[in-house]
Amino acid sequence: MRSLIIDVSPLRASPEFRLVFAARVVSLFGIALTTVGVPWQVYAMTHSSLDVSLAAALVGGTTLVGTLAGGVVSDRCDRRVVILTCRAMAALVFTVLAVNAALPSPQLWLLYLCVAVNGATAVSQSALMAVTPAIVRREQLAAAGALVALSTQIGAVVGPSVAGLLIAGPGLTVNFALCAAASAVTTGLLWFLPSLPPQGGTTAHPLSAIREGAAFVARNRVVRGVLLIDAAAMLFALPQVLFPQVVVEVLGRGPEVAGLLYTAPAIGAMVAALTSGWTTTVRRTGRVLLLAVALYGVAIGLFGLSPLAPVGDPLVWACAFLVVAGASDMVSEILRRALLADVTPDHLQGRVSSVWLAQATVGPSAGGVEAGVASRLLGPGPAIAAGGGVCVVATAALAALLPPLRRASLQPPAPEEPLPAGDPLPGVAEHAPLEPEVAAHEADVRR
């Protein structure tokens, strides 16, 4: 039973990871307040959903640019300096938002400017993700990934609820002021990190650095497989945009039920994170990852078919399948994060992290468009079921085409398990053998 409980050994073993984890929880709480506060203020000022969507587009666009730029910056500069600079900028932006909200006539252009600048501070996301392998031992990468994922769920569950209470009570000024305070606390915590320069950091022209990162992603079949399998799940099996239509047209319920559908995956993800201790000892990491994504596709497909359940309330079945989907997605996220951190050399961590984060920014939007088109053609239920099925097929195809992904492991191979000829060590990047001095240096960095 104890092996199921989330492994907190990275928090005990690494003071640096403790700082990063605490800062991340506080930061995500503040960001969640902004995620609710900005759309609410824009709509209150304009009464236009189009203006709200413009703010969302600004956030998405600048975040995409920030994460991609952050990959290059964090692979050539001290990552501690990058993180501190961006978090300090975020605190300033939230302070301006609070002042603007307190004005008798808040300025919409200033709000849009703050939103754009804050999105650009996503540079620090790539740097934060890149530092984990340098401050956590290899055998603790999965546990660290689980803790990072748990911090995301805490922010997603607690932050919006608090934001609603603040906006309804003291108002938007207090909401944004608390965002600024959270960013200031985050900056203060991360101030105590040691210097974190990338090992063998690039000094090449930014475009050359981007090409180097893209070449590594294309060459390394484990990294390429992790990114492709994540893209397949987001593109074909992300049904959230169809929830309102499912509630009204398929389940025949009111808006109060929509919240249950949105909450169910988060519940599953939280349970999976809290019972993720087993992920630190699993030997066949790649196979478990593939199974988790396939199970996610199956659960989404069954959610689409839930109105056809022969017994019981279709809503209960729908929520149950979404809980399973959320749990399996959490397991896959933990293992994806750990594998990417393990197989990527330190001097490329920032750029590979930025590709994953950029994909996570763009993927849900592309998946939402795909779901909307499929729903128009097939109807919401069949569209969701078909998307889940395509996700399973895509996962099986990637498993067949990328044997190194199937064999990837966070654990060293057992003595009685010789490595297949011609394949790299499971969980080790596909690059040329290191000189003994360099190999020893990288081993020291891992520890």
DSSP 141-179: HHHHHHHHHHHHHHHHHHHHHHHHHHHHTT-HHHHHHHH
**Does residue 417 register a pLDDT over 70?**
no
pLDDT at 20: 93
Mark whether 156 and 53 lie in a shared domain: yes
- Give the C-alpha separation, 264 to 345, whole Å: 37
Nearest one of 179, 156, 155 to 167, comparing CA atoms: 179
pLDDT at 64: 84
Mark whether 327 and 432 lie in a shared domain: yes
| Residue where one domain finishes, among candidates 149, 180, 198 | 198
CATH at residue 292: 1.20.1250.20
Mark whether 257 and 191 lie in a shared domain: no
The predicted model scores a pTM of 0.73
Nearest one of 67, 151, 122 to 334, comparing CA atoms: 151
| Confidence band of 385 (pLDDT split at 50, 70, 90) | very high
Nearest one of 90, 79, 96 to 187, comparing CA atoms: 90
The answer to whether residues 390 and 236 touch, using CB atoms and an 8 Å cutoff, is yes
Mark whether 89 and 191 lie in a shared domain: yes
pLDDT at 442: 38
Average pLDDT score over residue span 334-345 = 88
Mark whether 108 and 226 lie in a shared domain: no
Task: Pick the range with the lowest mean pLDDT from 41-45, 168-172, 201-205, 238-242.
Answer: 201-205
Number of domains in the chain: 2
| Residue where one domain finishes, among candidates 198, 217, 234 | 198
CB neighbourhood size of 165 (10 A): 11
Residue numbers of the domain that contains 99:
1-198
- Give the C-alpha separation, 325 to 306, whole Å: 13
Query: Residue 182: which residues within 8 A CB-CB, separation 6 or more?
Result: 26, 27, 29, 30, 33, 94
| Residue where one domain finishes, among candidates 198, 221, 248 | 198
Mark whether 442 and 364 lie in a shared domain: yes
- Give the C-alpha separation, 391 to 412, whole Å: 30
Mark whether 381 and 429 lie in a shared domain: yes
pLDDT at 287: 94
**Does residue 257 register a pLDDT over 80?**
no
pLDDT at 441: 38
CA atoms within 13 A on the CB side of 172: 24
Task: Please provide the size of the chain in residues.
Answer: 447
Mark whether 144 and 248 lie in a shared domain: no
pLDDT at 255: 67
- Give the C-alpha separation, 72 to 46, whole Å: 38
Mark whether 396 and 443 lie in a shared domain: yes
pLDDT at 96: 96
